[in-house]
Amino acid sequence: MKKPSDLNVLIVDDYETMLKIERSLLRQIGFAHIDDASDGGRALQMLKSKAYDLVISDWNMHPMTGIEFLRAVRSDPQLRAVPFIMVTAESKTDNVVEAKKAGVSNYIVKPFSADTLKAKIESVLGELG
pLDDT tens track for 36-70? 999 999 999 999 999 999 999 999 998 999 999 99
Q: How far is CA 24 from CA 30, 71, 93, 117, in A?
A: 10, 27, 29, 11
Residue 96 has a pLDDT of 87
Give pLDDT tens digits for 67-112: 999 999 999 999 999 999 999 987 788 888 999 999 999 999 999 9
Please tell me the distance from the alpha carbon of residue 29 to that of residue 27, in angstroms, as a whole number: 5
Residue 109 in any domain: the answer is yes
Q: Is the pTM of this model over 0.75?
A: yes
Residue 16 in any domain: the answer is yes
Residue 126 in any domain: the answer is no
Residue 127 in any domain: the answer is no
The CATH number of the domain holding residue 96 is 3.40.50.2300
Residue 99 in any domain: the answer is yes
Q: How many structural domains does the chain have?
A: 1
64: helix, strand or coil? coil
Handedness of CA 57, 90, 127, 28 (dihedral sign): positive
Residue 11 in any domain: the answer is yes
Helix axes 66-75 and 40-49, enclosed angle (nearest 10): 30
Residue 125 in any domain: the answer is no
Q: What's the domain range around 31?
A: 7-116
Residue 90 has a pLDDT of 79
% of the chain surpassing 90 pLDDT: 90
Residue 88 in any domain: the answer is yes
Residue 129 has a pLDDT of 84
